[in-house]
Structure 1
Amino acid sequence: MRWKNRPEGSNWGDFGPDDEFGRLNLIGAEQVLKGAREIRAGMSFPLSLPLDFPGDNKLNVRRHPPRLRPTFRDGLPYVNFPFARNEEGATDVVSDDQVLLSLQYSTQWDALAHVGARFDADGDGVAESVYYNGFRANEDVIGPVDYRHDDGFAPHACGGEHSCAEALGIENLAVKGMQGRGVLIDLVAHYGREHRTIGYDDLMSVLDADGIEIETGDMLLLRTGFAEMILEMNRHPDETVLNSHCSALDGRDERLLKWITDSGIAALAADNYAVERYPARPPASPGEHPAMPLHHHCLFKLGLPLGELWYLRDLADWLRKHQRSRFMLTAPPLRLPGAMGSPVTPVATV
């Protein structure tokens, strides 16, 4: 076993010592059938932003818009390429391209390899960098640099700029399929675009008002209005405006985190950036703490995938008009081994 201590409130080991699916284990055949039974109107709603939104790199300086380029052969770009150049008499005209893409730039899933923590999993009094279920940095999730405990770093065996996440990669979500019953909580219908940090009490108030029931294995979606503002800004995001509007979950609210655990949800996605309020409010007591407490609780402790920057307005409007909150959700990421996140084009069917 790769750990002796597990974090308080975690489910490490509950699904097996080598488990990489986390709470996705709660999505089985019955959950898929529950989702299918929500299809009554035969209508589908795409839940993705165009993948060149939000625009620029203002929301995260590391992440840049996709760059499309043609593929090449013999120095020639294959866009409107007359195939007869390679095969005499051929009438085909071929266009073929490639993309340089930050995998978490736009509508996305976070893999369980996305956020870990410094934690004493060995029980020897020394914290090490670990991820869900005790998978190790530099052994299971490997990058080009080995960041040392003293804030130093050294080149890693991977070399270059490569990463080689051999555990907890996004391909696990793709293999699972990410298909089942979705449940939408429409915070915009109650709080508009108010800059509100949503704790347990606020969330329960909305659930009660809308008569929303959540069961084990459901995938939960939160509409805050953030993605709608992104679209209105037309690839020129205004950080000041975005940072002063819309709801986001309070990752420091212990009752909210416990509810996420007890609810049995298998995945959590929202239309905002990071799902939780970031930067988070200061912790109640001094000392070591996660900067992203909701990510820490979901990805690191529970193995619960997070989705960000989904587009939910059209689905939310239809569900409210028809007094519904449930639907069939199909949202597999790219099956890209070793990636820490992936674009996704989710589809809700009602």
Structure 2
Amino acid sequence: MKTAPRITKETVVGVLYGGLSNEREVSLRSGKNCYNALLRLGYKNTVLIDVSENLTEDLKENAVEIAFLCLHGKYGEDGTVQGLLELMKLPYTGSGVLSSALAMNKPLTKRVLTAQGLPFPSSYVIEEHESDNFDQFIKTLPAPPVMVKPLNEGSSVGVFKIEDVSELAGCVKDTLREFGGAIVESFVSGQEITIGVLEESHVSASAGIGSHSHSNGSAVLAHTGTQLVALPILELRPKSKAGFYDYEAKYTKGMTEFVLPAELSEARTAEAQELAKKTFRALNCSGYARVDMIAGHDGKLYILEVNTLPGMTDTSDLPAMAEVAGISYDQLVERILLSAGLDK
């Protein structure tokens, strides 16, 4: 059962950012934004920590009491850092070890969610140890258009849309060599949408505990329960040459038209938001997450992936959805902070 800390404006919050993944640059931007927001909110003992092999020492040297995770991709969003923080008994934001690891691995995400009846595009997986069967694998694939993706990356790193069969084998081989595995997914024609889900805490004020004394009588915020809230749906209309919401479209201003709320019927909107919450629960996510989907022209919804530490940059989706829901960037950051915990 998740245990939640009590947090005051005196709490030492460590914003963990940067790291070692291919999404380092995005993480740096997310971290700096969240760090500045926490300072504006009055959490004056907030520190920035660029994650490296010295993370344990850095956390101890800074006497960090809460870890605010702004890490994206491998060695941060995949359960590794979460496991370390659990061992250190240091509360952190975002999902726990198992949920993070599952969501980072696209085939395992699909296996868990489809077992519960949740919809995905058809897909085919090959890993490095199966490379001897490469030619046979290629023969089993559907005709393009298809999406070729790494097994364990985010931010659309290494994702390609293949429309010519002559390019398919080469793209899969390159992905297999660079990332150790590839997933080939049938392309679904429709609207690209994304839905933020917040685990909304019911918060009460109580007496302070922890390493700081509170002789000034300042209140401490503590959890009394949670419920899930699906944010307004964001529709993404990328302008990049790739023909889908790729890395360039995600992190370059002006490269994507954002339709918020998405141009969906009221019934389809409710269906997609409920599916996002079901996905959150099925993976046992915590705090917040973002679920990417396709609202297919065939009238069906398809889950693409789950992001357990969504971007918090100036161009990121989650803050934009929150703003339409009446939640400012700083308010969103504080909600995330107050959802921190252990034993997730």
TM-score bracket relative to the smaller structure = under 0.3
Greater relative contact order, per chain length (Cα 8 Å cut-off, separation 6+):
1
